[in-house]
Chains A and B, each alone.
Chain A
Amino acid sequence: MEYEIVIGLEIHSELDTKTKIFCGCSTAFGAEENTQTCPVCLGLPGVLPVLNKKVVEYAVKAGIATNCNIARFSKMDRKNYFYPDLPKAYQISQFDLPICENGSVEIDVDGEKKTIGITRIHIEEDAGKLNHDSTGTYADNNRCGVPLIEIVTEPDMRSAKEARAFAEKIKSILEYTEVSDCKMQEGSLRFDVNLSVRKFGDPLGTRTEMKNLNSFRALERAVEYEAKRQIFEIEQGNKIIQQTRKWDDDKTESYSLRSKEEAHDYRYFPDPDLVPVVLTEEYISNIERHLPKLPWVRKAEYMEKWNLSDYDAEILVASKEIATFFEKTVDVCNDAKSAANWLMGDISATMNEKGISIEEAGFSPEDLGELVNLINKNTISTSIGKQVLKEMFDSGKKPSVIVQEKNLAQMSDAGELKGMVLEVMKANPQSVEDLRSGKEKAIGFLVGQIMRQTKGKANPQMVNELIKECMNEI
């Protein structure tokens, strides 16, 4: 490829606090419009914002987990601009002294590892939400003042895949550290893309910015589209104009936003209502000590303790919910490989099909552990296990109950099976002849007939042995 794509990301994540950043209003999602506001977050005159302790703690957690330097001294600033979703006409953010700086995160794309630099992480408040219809624009200020961290990267990514891998890594870090619930459909994690293209070896080109992408798919597609667009413009002999563009994921195209602030002149200044945040070594190391296990730590454990492959371990730790579910399942069945296979295979396929998460699957890790145990003890076969799993998704019943109710336990009664085996062999003399003359394949056909007659409940190993035994009796 002749052109190199240069990508930097700004990731906004809503912190998982109970209250807003500067007031005690609830941050719960989905409340009626404007029922979670107060004079502070509405920006009424004469109020005094006070910083939420948890916001500092969560930002420091995120910073430690992304290898940042944690600032011993940071402060809040006002970013001034006019927009109807911003009642104060300024956003409280951090300008020159952010709480975290100079971090890095390792990503893995198609087996290649790469380190992406993190310029800074700062804390700030979210704006309100604007609802539009034909009659006008309506501001709901429930989201005003919900705490955010903004993670700003170096322009270190070179493809849509790398951008996606980085965004996914950040999501898993924030989930593992319990800094954010990262519910993307609720806007808890949003991506802004800065992108430019250049011929290899050239200095950086002019970049454009695409704001508020709220899914990995949108992020990936927006990067691909914008890179193509810029290359096309350059090939046509046109200049790239520095601008903010809006991504339309339904039309899979972006368009220029002309309306918003002409110049990025935010006239930042220190917020006189808020005092500096000064952190001690003790405070920081205490948070570091209590940081939950990060995905790569768990991954290494899975590979070492349970001999899982790099690939399997990576998939399992990608989501904290899955990893935790997996660990609890192994506690019950003590068979990591089977637990991993069920989770990455049938369970994840069904979850995708139904569009649900593991919490919504309707069964517990204990249930899955029990299913693995039933198979390992030869009570049921793997293929019956798949039937049982489907029933677990549908009814939420325990696997042992399903096996009993539906009479799915494997037939291991030799006497009962032997009668059937003899019958099938008598009905298929040709296969018996083939087998006698050394065609081993014929046994598979006979076993298949018996499995069909028993609806998969016969113990196939036992059937195999019985057929050999009956050869002499026929």
Chain B
Amino acid sequence: MKLTKEDVIYVADLARLEIDENEVDKYVEQLGKILEYEDQLNQIDTTDVLPTAHVLPVKNVLREDVPVPSLDREKALMNAPSQDKGCFKVPKVIE
């Protein structure tokens, strides 16, 4: 699979990354190399291999449905760039 300029711009947009237009070619090359490297995996025959859902051989890590105290509101909000009315103030959303 060949990575294109459009792919890089699209992915950057999805991730809300602002990238300089004259850097796009550089990313096409760098990301392309990473993908090429990973592409080696596709050369392995995995016909009889079960898909891996998780890398750890662990299952069913569950907790009881028992409440524990939450954070004080002041603490919950203290690192917010902007707060008011007991809430996180966020960019205005038009519904």
Residues of A within 8 A of B (CB): 17-19, 23-26, 32-39, 42, 50-54, 56, 73, 75, 80, 82, 84, 97, 130-132, 135-141, 246, 257, 259, 265, 267, 270, 272, 274-278
Kindly list 9 other residue pairs between chains A and B, CB separation below 8 angstroms, not including A34-B73, A84-B88: A25-B70, A26-B67, A32-B86, A37-B71, A130-B90, A138-B90, A139-B89, A267-B14, A275-B60
Contact with A along B61-95 (1 / 0, CB 8 A): 11111111011110011000000111111111111
Closest B residue to A54 by CB, please name it: B65
Q: How far is the CB of B18 from chain A (nearest CB, A)?
A: 14
* B interface list, Cβ under 8 A from A: 14, 16, 53-56, 58-68, 70-73, 76-77, 84-95
Taking each of B76, B91, B92, which has the highest tally of chain A beta carbons within 10 Å of its own beta carbon?
Answer: B76
**Contact residues in B for A246 (Cβ distance below 8 Å):** 95
Contact A275 B56 (CB under 8 A): yes
Q: Are B85 and A138 in contact (CB under 8 A)?
A: yes
- The answer to whether A82 and B73 touch across the interface, beta carbons within 8 angstroms, is no
Closest B residue to A27 by beta carbon equals B67
Pick the contact of A139: B60, B63, B87 (CB < 8 A).
Answer: B87
Q: Show 5 residue pairs from A and B whose CB-CB distance is below 8 angstroms, ordered by the A residue.
A: A18-B66, A33-B73, A53-B65, A54-B65, A277-B59
Using A25-B70, A36-B70, A37-B76 as known contacts, say yes or no to A52 and B63 having CB atoms under 8 A apart.
yes
A contact residues around B71 at 8 Å (CB): 37-39, 42
Most chain-A CB neighbours within 10 Å: which of B63, B68, B73, B84?
Answer: B63
Which residues of chain B have C-beta atoms less than 8 A from A274's C-beta?
A: 61
- Interface pair B16/A82, CB less than 8 Å apart: yes
- Residues of B with C-beta under 8 A to A272: 54-55
Question: Which residues of the other chain, A, contact B90 by a CB distance below 8 angstroms?
Answer: 84, 130, 136-139
The 10 closest A-B pairs by CB, nearest first: A24-B68, A138-B87, A84-B90, A54-B65, A139-B88, A33-B86, A53-B62, A278-B59, A50-B63, A275-B58
State whether B53 touches A276 (Cβ < 8 A): yes
* Known contacts A39-B71, A132-B93, A141-B88; A17/B65 CB under 8 A: yes
Q: Are the CB atoms of B88 and A138 closer together than 8 Å?
A: yes
Q: How far is the CA of A18 from the CA of B73 in the complex (A)?
A: 20
Residues B62 and A51 in contact, CB atoms below 8 Å apart: yes
Which residues of A sit under 8 angstroms from B16, Cβ to Cβ? 82
- Minimum CB distance partner of B56 in chain A: A275
In Å, the complex CA distance between A130 and B91 comes to: 11
Q: Are B86 and A52 in contact (CB under 8 A)?
A: no
- Given A34-B87, A75-B53, A259-B94, is A277 in contact with B63 using a C-beta cutoff of 8 Å? no
* A270/B14 in contact, CB under 8 A: no
Of the candidates A39, A97, A137, the one whose C-beta lies within 8 Å of that of B53 is: A97
- What are the residues of chain B within 8 A of A25 when measuring CB–CB? 67-68, 70
Bound-complex Cα distance A244 to B90 (A):
23
- Is B66 touching A19 in the complex (CB atoms < 8 A)? yes
State whether A130 and B70 are in contact (beta carbons under 8 Å apart), knowing that A34-B87, A51-B62 are contacts in the complex.
no
* Residue of chain B at shortest CB distance from A15: B65
Minimum CB–CB distance from B29 to chain A (whole Å) comes to 22
**Closest CB of chain A to B6's CB: distance in Å?**
13
Q: Check A38 against B59 for contact (C-beta < 8 Å).
A: no
A135 and B61 CA atoms in complex are apart in Å by: 44
- Contacting pair A24 B89 (CB below 8 A): no
Note all chain B residues with C-beta closer than 8 A to A80.
14
A277 to B85, CA, bound (A): 40
User: Chain A nearest CB: distance from B56 CB in Å?
Assistant: 6
Across-interface contacts of A137 in B (CB, < 8 A): 89-93
Query: Within the assembled complex, what's the spacing in Å between the Cα atoms of A273 and B61?
Result: 10
Q: CB-CB < 8 A to B54: which residues of A?
A: 75, 270, 272, 275-276
Cα–Cα distance between A26 and B70 once the two chains are bound (Å): 8
Query: Across the interface, which residues of B come within 8 angstroms of A277, CB to CB?
Result: 59-60
Question: Is A24 a contact of B66 with CB atoms below 8 Å?
Answer: yes
Q: Which residues of B contact A270 (CB under 8 A)?
A: 53-54
A73, B93: Cα distance in complex, Å: 39
Q: Is the CB of A53 within 8 A of B64?
A: yes
Q: How far is it, in angstroms, between the C-alpha of A52 and the C-alpha of B60 when the chains are bound?
A: 10
Contact status of A52 and B89, CB under 8 A, knowing A38-B70, A42-B76: no
Contact B64 A132 (CB under 8 A): no
* B9 CB, nearest partner CB in chain A, Å: 13
- A42 surroundings in chain B (CB, below 8 A): 71, 76
> Which residues of the other chain, A, contact B53 by a CB distance below 8 angstroms?
73, 75, 97, 270, 276
A136 touches B89 (CB 8 A): yes
Q: Is the CB of A33 within 8 A of B64?
A: no
Q: Which residue of B lies closest to A133 (CB)?
A: B85
Contact of B87 among A33, A51, A276 (CB under 8 A): A33
Chain A's closest residue to B62 (CB) is A53
Contact A56–B85 (Cβ < 8 Å): no
Given A42-B76, A136-B92, A270-B54, A18 contacting B65 (CB threshold 8 A): yes
Whole-angstrom distance between the Cβ of B95 and the nearest chain A Cβ? 7
Contact A138 B84 (CB under 8 A): yes
